[in-house]
Amino acid sequence: MINRLRLAGTVHIQEWRRSGRVLVAVYRYGIGTDAVKPPPLTPMERLRRFRERESLDDKAFRLARERGKRLKPRRDPLVAAFYGSVE
């Protein structure tokens, strides 16, 4: 139905609004030009928006997990004496 009205020139896209992760066209009755659709968000913009909504507990958990990935576990000295070092 909207397509027929757009082809007839009775409605046009007034603006684009974000509904969650999806861009939605807002139509307006009358003659006019369609609004330009904004470009999609870059991965860095999506990550920044996600981290703005992140709670303090979730941020602390994420940072602790990232720190844990960088740490190298220490080898038990007794096991190293029996089996040798890995390096």
Residues 3-22 have a mean pLDDT of 87
Q: pTM for this structure? A: 0.55
Residues paired with 19 in a beta bridge: 22
Each residue's pLDDT tens digit, 26-80: 999 988 888 999 998 899 999 999 999 999 999 999 999 999 898 888 888 888 8
Q: How many CB atoms lie within 10 A of CB 25?
A: 15
- Between CA 37 and CA 43 the distance in angstroms is 18
- Written as six digits, the tokens of 66 are 């990232």
Segment (H or E) for 27? strand 22-29
Determine the Cα–Cα distance for residues 15 and 28; give it in Å rounded to an integer: 9
What are the φ and ψ backbone dihedral angles of 20, each rounded to 5 degrees?
Answer: 75, -115
